[in-house]
Structure 1
Amino acid sequence: MPEADLVILNAYLASPEKEEILKCSMAIGDGRIITMGPGEQVLKLSGPGTHIIDLEGRVALPGLSDAHMHGLSLGRSLTWADLSGARSIAEIQEALRKHEASLGPSDWLIGFGWDHELLKERRLPNKHDLDAVSRTRPIAIFRKCWHLCVLNSAALMALGPEAVRELASTGEALLEPKTGEPTGVLVERALEAVREAMPKLDVEGAIRAAKLAMREALSKGLTCLHWILEGPTDLAALMALWASGDLPIRIYALFPAEALEHLIALGLRTGFGDDMLRLGALKLILDGSLGAKTAYLREPYADDPGNRGMLLYSERELRDIALKAHGAGVQLAIHAIGDGAVELVLKVLSELPGGPGGLRHRIEHASVLSPGLIRAMASLGVVASVQPRFIVSDFWVEERLGRERARWAYPLRSLLEAGVPLAAGSDAPVEPIDPLEGILAAIGPPQRPEERLSTWQAIKAYTLGAAFASFQEGRYGSIRPGALADITVLSCGPDEFTPEGLEEARVEATFVMGELRFSRGGLLELQGP
């Protein structure tokens, strides 16, 4: 056997496949696990150039994946005003004023992460609230779901009165009932117009944002990101990092719907690429969010009886896109939160020639379901790409859906027991890009104990499940000889590998293809690289 690049000693390997923890050491070379066994056996493959690390009894997991995240938005949001802690409109205003002090004279003031369900006023902010901060500098604040934002008067002027009127005609710019004036609240596709009006990132700016997002992800133990692209600049940034060898984390790229014709013209299919950057699925957004009351439901919202949400594609439009993508060998990843949207996706997928199973088409979120929809997902072989942290954030779900429907919101265990493949992610920056938080949310929802996952089931969704959703099972998602050496090291030992212990655990180190990409500084290095 060749000399190892890295030897890891005294690890407790948590195997999702075997659902057990084994004390073991391993030798790694050329980005893969060469062998595993007792320390004295593994050390025989070391040499003068081998990096040797002693984990001193810490737990090592297969590298964790995030199956649904917005990388560029995450990176950019880390430089915006953080509104996630705001509990009143006054606190939103205070945070914006504080952040404004760091801006240049022509910069927009952008905030992110607020949730009106947590505000004292229990209402959406409006343009008047933001005008109180500034009437001359454009201000945009994005709700944490990314399906609703609020603009001040200057930002509305940047969009242009005609554009706002057009958005109002589709219900995507809300108007004052009495005056017909814009409230400043915009939803769904209107947010694209806002992003177009905002100062553009060039490729260098996108690279900086991508690096921020990747650094954050690595610090949380992630080794692979299903990265939802926002446009050509986003892809150009990833390509530049890949070409220079500076891509520190594995990327499975999800392309926007408008890229489909280009993919077909170039003959590109899902799976094209290498172990660091791979072409993934075509991402469509079919409906909105529960928080913004735009997710498309079969029946009206319990707290908004005249509203069922909205569809962003007609059935015919969705079918045409699905047929084209399926025929071109491109996986579909369709955002569908409401049960009405999920029902439409399943209808369209069931009509695909040969069925959808081979391309492992995905429903992103699949938040509100029913026993019948779950059975249909299992029958069609559709992957459920879920975000367990939503269970914690959407504490108001029963108020929004009513008790009967809320029983089938985020039914993770029912999906697994029906045989639906489960891949887990964060939807960052909507939720923190922290898989340990997601795992804890999946194993402990107090409101519906019947839907709790076991610790192993939750970890599988972030490892084996995410690998399956990207056609990479056997390459990563498990720790075994021949697999890629993606490893997440936790601070806990095997005795603390419990739900209670994981609440206190933190990520100690992250390895991607055997390279140490993050370390908290506590690893015992016996021999340097």
Structure 2
Amino acid sequence: MKKLFFNGKIYDENFNINKNLLVDDGKIIYIGDEDIVLQEKYEKINLKKSYLTPSFFDSHLHLYLYSKSLFELNLSNIDNFDDVLRKLKEYTIDGDIIWGFGWDDEKWNCKPNKKFLDEIFKDRYVILKRRDGHSVWVNSKILNEINIDEISKIKGSKVEKDENGDLTGILREKAADYVFEHFKEKQNIDKILKKGVKKLQSYGITAICNMDGDILPHLIKNRFNLRIMNSIPLNKLKEAISIGIRSDFGNNFLKICGLKIFMDGSLGSKTAYMKEGFEDEKNNFGVKYFDEKELDEIVNEANKNGIYVWIHSIGDRANEIVLKIITKKGRHKLNRIEHSQIVSENFLNFLKNKKIFLSVQPSHILLDFDKIEKFLGKRGKYTYPFKSLIQNGATLIFGSDAPIENPDPLRGINLAVDRVVFEKEFFKNEAIDVEEAFKSYTINPAKSVEMENNIGSLSIGKFADFVTFTDDPLSFKGELISTYIEGEKVFKKD
């Protein structure tokens, strides 16, 4: 049955406002101001002057990790270490494993250590993920179960020890990943994912690029009401090639897309791969997971077999290397960089005329605001330089990196446009206009996975994936009312 959404303020692909939208079999067949009267039976939905925009596409989040975080102890925004310990002591949820996330030791007057967790949880496993997702704080029960010697040998692993050579319980990068994977099987993944999908719909998100590529069997099994562009884990590349998997395999709800590769770590953990050392650790240049030749060979192998790459790259040195490799002649046009957080003048100059997609996360400005000057000094002007990236030819696609940050798209859009954090301006010269920011959360991500003919804007022939608001979201007014996929309501605010 056709559906007529009328009496609204509906943004089309050119940001013009229209009154009516007609949907048939999940697709838009009319958008405009003409009064529609059909002879056949149809459903009429009065929008009551509410605003209607395309639904959002988060180009970088971790569906499993975000969904799991909804069941975990949240340690975000706790500045006092004693308050962290107090919250841990008050934790009452049953289970063999205490999962938590969000701690930030940069705000504390002491360093996290396994001994604090051992005193509180003597008989339960404790796994607490740092706010940036690149480090984990665990207790002795965890350390006794895993093979530290084996983990230490993994390239990109960092196992911290104190001045006496004893383990502190802090594991970084690949060492942290090892812990997550080792204990993953103890989770009810299907139940976890269902809650995460519903939560994303409540933010108006109907499409994502999922960086947790190893949950593919669960995505196939459940067919969630979310358009999922799934990554391929690097350790599955040979297997994918051998069975003929290529980027773009799938359908409108589940597609195989980019090969996920890590080039370096994060700013918060000071493991981003830098050209110069951090201001407070001059001899620390961060962590690189691959030599340039190694990375080039991986990208070449993927691209020649029809698989494009999504490469995590934070530091300026990492970004220069990755950009050079993915834009070589003959490389896949959809190769992209994930984050591009800290760049350089060389990077911007080399970017010109490359016409590539850069997956960036405006909400990370909140995460790193207090660290940028401390760790980078004058290089801070090259962090999150959205306007400069666009001016030099890049197409920006926005995401949240949830659960590292809240997935609310309007939060990210606001930061990209206003560049104000805690009432302080953050390199205001790199702000972009609101229409460009909205495109970076809608049509641009769709283009990055060649879905622009189906989603990303409201125009004839595309799926009716949209969100309604009480007031104009482009003016940062109003609240989200409901979310639709193919003209069917999947979320309504109570």
- TM normalised by structure 1 equals 0.88
Q: 1:131 aligns to what? A: 118
Question: What is the CA–CA distance in structure 1 between the aligned matches of 2:474 and 2:387, rounded to whole Å?
Answer: 21
Choose which of 167, 172, 176 in structure 1 pairs with 2:158.
172
Cα deviation, 1:305-350, whole Å, max 9, x if unaligned, reads: 1201001122222112101111011110000000111111122224
Q: Tell me the CA shift for residue 284 of structure 1.
A: 0.6
Contact 1:226 1:251 in 2 (8 A): yes
Q: 1:491 aligns to what? A: 470
Choose which of 303, 321, 330 in structure 2 pairs with 1:354.
330
Choose which of 189, 208, 216 in structure 2 pairs with 1:206.
189
- Does the alignment pair 1:181 with 2:166? yes
Choose which of 230, 251, 259 in structure 2 pairs with 1:274.
251
Gaps (5+ residues) in structure 2? 420-424
Q: 1:56 aligns to what? A: 48
- Does the alignment pair 1:461 with 2:447? no
Question: What is the CA–CA distance in structure 1 between the aligned matches of 2:412 and 2:39, rounded to whole Å?
Answer: 37
Matched letter for residue 59 of structure 2: A
- Does the alignment pair 1:103 with 2:94? yes
- Does the alignment pair 1:9 with 2:43? no
Q: 1:22 aligns to what? A: 17
Q: 1:439 aligns to what? A: 413
Q: 2:384 aligns to what? A: 410
Work out which structure has the larger RCO, using CA pairs closer than 8 Å and 6 or more positions apart in sequence. Answer: 1
Q: 1:518 aligns to what? A: 491
Matched position secondary structure for 2:353: helix
Q: 2:33 aligns to what? A: 38
Choose which of 104, 115, 139 in structure 2 pairs with 1:152.
139
- Does the alignment pair 1:216 with 2:199? yes
Matched letter for residue 384 of structure 1: L
Cα deviation, 1:273-316, whole Å, max 9, x if unaligned, reads: 11111111111111000011001011101121120100112222
Matched position secondary structure for 2:68: helix
Choose which of 60, 63, 70 in structure 2 pairs with 1:68.
60
Identical amino acids, percent of aligned pairs: 29
Choose which of 303, 309, 316 in structure 2 pairs with 1:326.
303
- Does the alignment pair 1:316 with 2:289? no
Matched position secondary structure for 2:169: strand
* Deviating more after overlay: 72-81 vs 312-321: 312-321
Matched position secondary structure for 1:207: helix
Matched position secondary structure for 2:369: coil
Choose which of 237, 251, 255 in structure 1 pairs with 2:232.
255
Contact 2:274 2:286 in 1 (8 A): yes
Gaps (5+ residues) in structure 1? 522-529
- Does the alignment pair 1:451 with 2:430? yes
Question: What is the CA–CA distance in structure 1 between the aligned matches of 2:301 and 2:178, rounded to whole Å?
Answer: 27
Q: 2:422 aligns to what? A: none
Question: What is the CA–CA distance in structure 2 between the aligned matches of 1:164 and 1:62, rounded to whole Å?
Answer: 45
Question: What is the CA–CA distance in structure 1 between the aligned matches of 2:341 and 2:432, rounded to whole Å?
Answer: 16
Contact 1:9 1:39 in 2 (8 A): no
Choose which of 212, 219, 222 in structure 2 pairs with 1:229.
212
Q: Tell me the CA shift for residue 201 of structure 1.
A: 4.5
Question: What is the CA–CA distance in structure 2 between the aligned matches of 1:164 and 1:37, rounded to whole Å?
Answer: 59
- Computed over aligned residues only, the root mean square deviation of the Cα atoms, in angstroms, reads 1.9
Change (3 A) 1:428 1:161: closer
Q: Tell me the CA shift for residue 463 of structure 1.
A: 0.7
Question: What is the CA–CA distance in structure 2 between the aligned matches of 1:429 and 1:292, rounded to whole Å?
Answer: 17
Change (3 A) 1:325 1:438: same
Change (3 A) 1:256 1:129: same
Q: Tell me the CA shift for residue 46 of structure 1.
A: 5.9
- Does the alignment pair 1:112 with 2:101? yes
- Does the alignment pair 1:303 with 2:293? no
Question: What is the CA–CA distance in structure 1 between the aligned matches of 2:39 and 2:400, rounded to whole Å?
Answer: 38
Question: What is the CA–CA distance in structure 1 between the aligned matches of 2:133 and 2:157, rounded to whole Å?
Answer: 17
- Does the alignment pair 1:238 with 2:219? yes
Question: What is the CA–CA distance in structure 2 between the aligned matches of 1:171 and 1:251, rounded to whole Å?
Answer: 29
Q: Which runs of 4+ in 1 moved over 6 A?
A: none
Question: What is the CA–CA distance in structure 2 between the aligned matches of 1:347 and 1:307, rounded to whole Å?
Answer: 24
Matched letter for residue 140 of structure 1: I
**Corresponding pairs, count:** 489
Change (3 A) 1:329 1:166: closer
- TM normalised by structure 2 equals 0.94
Question: What is the CA–CA distance in structure 1 between the aligned matches of 2:327 and 2:32, rounded to whole Å?
Answer: 47
Question: What is the CA–CA distance in structure 1 between the aligned matches of 2:261 and 2:320, rounded to whole Å?
Answer: 15
Change (3 A) 1:450 1:69: same
Contact 1:96 1:109 in 2 (8 A): no
Contact 2:11 2:18 in 1 (8 A): no
Contact 1:12 1:59 in 2 (8 A): yes
Q: Tell me the CA shift for residue 158 of structure 1.
A: 1.6
Cα deviation, 1:187-237, whole Å, max 9, x if unaligned, reads: 0000122123325146xx221111111111100001101111242xx1111
Change (3 A) 1:297 1:512: same
Change (3 A) 1:39 1:8: farther
Change (3 A) 1:196 1:62: closer
Question: What is the CA–CA distance in structure 2 between the aligned matches of 1:164 and 1:126, rounded to whole Å?
Answer: 19
Q: 1:366 aligns to what? A: 340
Cα deviation, 1:151-184, whole Å, max 9, x if unaligned, reads: 11111112145346647x976001112x100111
Contact 2:156 2:174 in 1 (8 A): no
Matched letter for residue 108 of structure 1: I
* Deviating more after overlay: 206-215 vs 292-301: 206-215
Change (3 A) 1:8 1:142: same
Written as runs of structure 1 = structure 2, the 5 A alignment for 1:372-383 is: 372-383=346-357
Contact 1:10 1:39 in 2 (8 A): no
Cα deviation, 1:77-135, whole Å, max 9, x if unaligned, reads: 11111111322222222222332x2213xx11111012223x342x4411122223223
Contact 2:326 2:336 in 1 (8 A): no
Contact 2:156 2:173 in 1 (8 A): no
Change (3 A) 1:392 1:437: same
Matched letter for residue 464 of structure 1: I
* Deviating more after overlay: 364-373 vs 155-164: 155-164
Change (3 A) 1:394 1:165: closer
Question: What is the CA–CA distance in structure 2 between the aligned matches of 1:478 and 1:457, rounded to whole Å?
Answer: 13
Cα deviation, 1:383-415, whole Å, max 9, x if unaligned, reads: 100000011221124334434210010001111
